[in-house]
Amino acid sequence: MSLPSRKPGGIPAATIARLPVYHRVLSTFGSQGIVTIASEELAAACGVSSAKLRKDLSHLGSFGTRGVGYNVSYLTFHIARGLGVTKSRGIVIVGMGNLGRALASYRAFGARGFHIVGIFDRDHELVGSTLLCGQESFTVMPISDLAAVVSKNEANIGVITTPAESAQEIADLMIEAGLVSILNFAPVFLKVSQEVEVRKVDLAVELQILAFHDQKLDSEPSPQELSQVDIA
């Protein structure tokens, strides 16, 4: 689901999409002991022009000193505040198949301002099993426990890694539990109210886009490809 062109607060959606990249790159520089950085160097590391970087940052405030650059830790904090990750936000993941387990095991959530509070599945063979999520082990819980876990742990974000046919039901349950931010990996569009923010990640679509750019546009289809075309 694509973002509207502007979000509340007047920050363009494209800028919001780039802020996490700035935050990640700045965090890396900070971990390397870098105190200040020029806008040109930061922009290059983020893959944008320095003009675009400065315009994006202007939506958050006034940063940088002419001839000196940006204070890395100061700018990192203010971008984190703009993103809402100065405090850790709780995540629940529903769907403990291969993708769900891989996401739950991702070790960098904590450094990015998130922590897992619960993992769920409806498969009775998976419920009750344990999984190491970062530094902590979690027990896979039945979906019937979702609302209680969200309420008890004040979870903020729901992640759906179920098959497509289950995704809408899970989204509805997440919303009923009080979640209004959902990251959806299932290959289906979710029907939600305007108050709910959904971000969709479809790996197959991304691969197809890459395939489009990778193809030789001037090449003719091979006889084998033509033989597979069903001409009515």
Instruction: Give residue 216's pLDDT.
Output: 61
Q: What domains sit in the chain, N to C, each tagged with a CATH number?
A: 13-83 (1.10.10.10), 89-205 (3.40.50.720)
Comparing 151 with 135, the larger pLDDT belongs to: 151
pTM of the model: 0.78
- The stretch 87-92 carries a mean pLDDT of 92
Q: How far apart (Å, rounded) are the C-alpha atoms in residues 50 and 44?
A: 8
Q: How far apart (Å, rounded) are the C-alpha atoms in residues 137 and 105?
A: 10
Instruction: Give residue 3's pLDDT.
Output: 40
DSSP string, the chain: -PPPSB-TTS-BHHHHHHHHHHHHHHHHHHHTT--EE-HHHHHHHHTS-HHHHHHHHHTT----BTTTBEEHHHHHHHHHHHHT-SS-EEEEEE--SHHHHHHHT-TTTGGGTEEEEEEE-S-TTTTT-EEEETTEEEEEE-GGGHHHHHHHHT--EEEE-S-HHHHHHHHHHHHHTT--EEEE-SSS-----TTSEEEE--HHHHHHHHHHHHS-TTPPPPHHHHHT----
Q: How far apart (Å, rounded) are the C-alpha atoms in residues 138 and 130?
A: 5
- The stretch 143-163 carries a mean pLDDT of 96
CA neighbor of 166 nearest in space, from 196, 146, 193: 146
Q: Is the pLDDT at 1 greater than 50, yes or no? A: no
